[in-house]
Structures are given as C-alpha cells and as structure tokens.
C-alpha cells in the first residue's frame, strides 16, 4: 500500500523518533508499505517519520545509483533502531534531495565512511561498514529519526535562496508526482 509522504512543516518530521521492539504491530506490512511508497516516489530512502510514524525505522535501496556510485550496487536495507558506531573525520559535500522536500536539492557535507549497527525486519542484528554515497543515504535517513532534515545542514544564505520553494511546500502547492501530506 502506498502511503502519503509527509512534507516539510509536518511536526512528525521534527520529533525524535522512538526505538521499537520486535513485537511492533505489523512490522513486515509496514516494511513492505514503506518500500512500495519509496519506489513509487522514485526515492532511494524513506524514514518512518516521512510516513507519519515517529519510530526508528528506515528503508533504503540505492541500487539505481550504481552506475555513478558502484558502492550502491545491491545496497538495499531495512534498518531498525540504527546506531552509529563510527563516523569518519573525512567528509565530502554532495547534492541531496528528500521526498519530504520536493524540488529542493542542496549540497551537504557528510562523513565518507560509517560503521552502523541495526536490526532488520526479521530482528537480526547487523553491524556494517558503509562507504561513499551509500553511507550518505544511510546518514540522510538516520537524520530523519533525530527530528532533522537535510536542509538543516545548509547555510542561512542557501536556505534563504530556497525560501520560495519551502513556502510552496508549506502551503501544499509544491509540484509532486506522488501522494503527499502537507501541513495545509
């Protein structure tokens, strides 16, 4: 089932998401709905707050980016209660977008390598090193679980330059090819 994507301005995107336990109701159904919603919107990642749920869960599939970023080949993951174990001091700035901020693309500096621990939807624990653009996708999605969005990382000037677009998102008039839930 395709779920509406909550847009910038929705309070759930600003909440600190809660860790969940294995008995979270209909976890597998939620996982499959999140993948369906992400693919339908041509996204490579989707965090639970983006479908209105303030829980620590995200799905991502960056395989579509493999021609530009070989590290993304087959990189499809469901991450529940993710915890960063390491983040490299080395960072790189690259352009990002977000399904909750349609039409906005900005460069964000992030660590190039991470080590992360998480549960999958079968409740198996994983500990994994992730590099390059795949690490970027993971960090972008995990940021949603802390009540932040990627434009929180850009300069005041860059945010000012995007003000018109942000206002359109807030007003519910941003153009979008997928189902959304704006504030108004």
Q: Is 173 helix (H, G, I), strand (E, B) or coil?
A: coil
- Shortest Cβ distance from residue 14 to Ni ion (Å)? 13
Residue in this structure with the two tokens 């993971």, named with its chain if needed: 138
Stretch that binds Ni ion, among 74-82, 90-98, 151-159, 171-179 (CB under 5 A): 90-98
| Shorter beta-carbon distance to Ni ion: residue 109 or 122 | 109
Nearer Cβ to Ni ion, position 95 or 127?
95
Stretch in the footprint of Ni ion (CB under 5 A) among 51-59, 82-90, 98-106, 153-161: 98-106
The verdict on whether 141 is a catalytic residue reads: yes
Nearest Cα neighbor of 88 from 62, 72, 110, 108 is 110
Q: Which residue is nearest to Ni ion (CB)?
A: 98
62 binds Ni ion (CB under 5 A): no
Task: Dig out the tokens for 89 from the structure.
Answer: 């001091």
Cβ proximity to Ni ion: between 17 and 98 the closer is 98
Residue 112, C-beta contacts closer than 8 angstroms, at least 6 positions apart: 88, 90, 91, 92, 131, 132, 135
Contact window for Ni ion (CB under 5 A) among 15-23, 96-104, 164-172, 173-181:
96-104
Considering beta carbons, is residue 27 or 108 the nearer one to Ni ion?
A: 108
Catalytic residue among 96, 106, 141, 143: 141
Helix (H, G, I), strand (E, B) or coil at 166: helix
Q: Is 57 in the site for Ni ion (CB under 5 A)?
A: no
Give just the sign of the alpha carbon dihedral 119, 122, 123, 129.
Answer: negative
Find the binder of Ni ion among 51, 60, 98, 114 (CB under 5 A): 98
Beta strand pairing status for 57-61 and 45-47?
Answer: antiparallel
24 φ/ψ sector (left φ>0, alpha ψ -120 to 50, else beta): beta
Catalytic residues: 141
Contact residues for Ni ion (CB under 5 A)? Answer: 98
């Amino acid at each position: 089932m395709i779920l509406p994507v909550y847009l910038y301005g929705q309070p759930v995107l600003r909440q600190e998401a809660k860790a969940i336990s294995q008995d979270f109701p209909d976890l597998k159904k939620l996982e499959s709905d999140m993948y369906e919603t992400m693919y339908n919107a041509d996204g490579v990642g989707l965090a639970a707050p983006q479908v209105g749920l303030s829980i620590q869960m995200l799905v991502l599939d960056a395989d579509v980016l493999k021609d530009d970023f070989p590290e993304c080949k087959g990189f499809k993951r469901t991450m529940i209660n993710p915890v960063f174990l390491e983040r490299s001091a080395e960072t790189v700035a690259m352009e990002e977008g977000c399904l909750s901020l349609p039409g906005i693309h900005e460069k964000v500096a992030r660590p190039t390598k991470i080590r992360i621990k998480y549960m999958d939807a079968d409740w198996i624990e994983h500990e994994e090193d992730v590099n390059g653009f795949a690490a970027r996708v993971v960090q972008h999605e995990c940021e949603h679980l802390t009540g932040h969005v990627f434009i929180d990382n850009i300069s005041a000037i860059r945010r000012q330059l995007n003000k018109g677009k942000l206002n359109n998102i807030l007003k519910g008039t941003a153009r979008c090819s997928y189902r959304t839930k704006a504030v108004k």
